[in-house]
Structure 1
């Protein structure tokens, strides 16, 4: 079993022990992903690049917690909806490799339609 599936099973067991299945439909899990991602973003709000560099170690615990929350919801969404995250990521990387060929995208932050 790969690491992603192990993590999904850990999250599944955690949720099942608490009888949360009824609350974990696609809409509510997607809202959870978005909410937690915004809580991560909020950590950096109104900070300059210099402040982020200087203060990152102080922010690290909060960043790690919010990243874990995002991951929790992503894993749960995939587990509840039979999505193979490894396969989905591989497909997306293949698709992005076509959109962002190395010779055009290397060192460039432009969107694929502007390369």
Structure 2
């Protein structure tokens, strides 16, 4: 069975590509529609937590059915992100590393530690 510690992003992108090509979905998977898919699935993930207290949210992860629902929605978001990366030849690891460097500059440890404020709200 695959898991995070043994699976490369490239392998996941290949699985998504094969899945979509077998179903002739390339015709529906342009950047706009894939981005809509990311947003739609992220909204479905968010809906699982809407109007829940912090304790109720935590309880979801201790309930097998609730946890599976969260995992399914996360997987749906990941599917669309992987497909977008695969279709448009985006190296997700490089993009992530570059963005993490940008965020490190925006949120230096000495300023951001323990704060949930956006970088532009510090002054």
TM-score range, shorter chain: over 0.9
Q: Unaligned stretches of 5+ in structure 1? A: none
The count of aligned residue pairs is 114
- Between Structure 1 and Structure 2, the one with more helix by share is 1
1:91 to 98, 103, 114: 98
* Cα distance in 2, alignment partners of residues 55 and 66 from structure 1: 13
1:31 to 36, 39, 64: 36
* Cα distance in 1, alignment partners of residues 87 and 106 from structure 2: 30
Is structure 2 residue 20 aligned with structure 1 residue 15? Answer: yes
Note the alpha carbon deviations across 1:47-102, whole angstroms, 9 max, x for none.
11121123332221100000000000000011101111111001100000100001
1:44 is paired with a residue of what secondary structure?
coil
* Cα distance in 1, alignment partners of residues 41 and 8 from structure 2: 22
CA RMSD for the aligned pairs?
1.2
Tell me the TM-score normalized by structure 1. Answer: 0.94
* Cα distance in 1, alignment partners of residues 60 and 86 from structure 2: 35
Is structure 2 residue 117 aligned with structure 1 residue 110? Answer: yes
Tell me the TM-score normalized by structure 2. Answer: 0.88
1:80 to 63, 87, 107: 87
